[in-house]
Amino acid sequence: MAAKLLPIGLLISALACKPPSASEQMDSAVSWVGTAGMAGEAWLRHASPDKYTRQTLELSHKSLIDIGTSLLKSLPAGIDSATVDSALARSSTHIALMAQLVEQKNSPDFRTLLDSLYADERVVKQLADSVEAKEQ
């Protein structure tokens, strides 16, 4: 039983699955903006290494761009794709800038950017909620 299940399971999971829905992708975007915020906070407290912070911010940036490209094709009717696009683009730009500031060890500017990221976070969250409401 186990011996038979295992290779099949591995094969199927390797082949991945149907594309995630728009609201799942929005949740993922919220998750990455939040991740960048938390990682940024920890760095400002000198409670995490520079390299980790930079890599995590870069990963968030990259993930947000990926989500942006695939999301615009699958948005439900009634959601303005330009709004979503600009919100995601704005936060991913902020995150990319933060990653650079980590490299320069520039905390004052980093703090300012982190505050704008919190504003982005609220916008993305609201959009995520309205996408979910539209999908149901």
Q: Which residues bind another protein (CB under 8 A)?
A: 1-3, 5-6, 9-10, 12-13, 17-21, 24, 27-28, 30-31, 34-35, 37-39, 41-42, 45, 47-52, 55-56, 59, 121, 125, 128
Tell me which residue has tokens 């979910």: 132
Nearer to another protein, 30 or 75 (CB): 30
d(CA 87, CA 25): 14
> What is the DSSP secondary structure assignment for residue 76, as one 8-state letter?
P
d(CA 89, CA 95): 10
| Closest distance of CB 93 from another protein, Å | 20
d(CA 25, CA 114): 23
| Closest distance of CB 133 from another protein, Å | 12
> What is the DSSP secondary structure assignment for residue 49, as one 8-state letter?
-
| Closest distance of CB 99 from another protein, Å | 13
Nearer to another protein, 41 or 85 (CB): 41
Give, in order, the Cα–Cα distances in Å from 73 to each of 29, 58, 68, 84: 15, 24, 9, 12
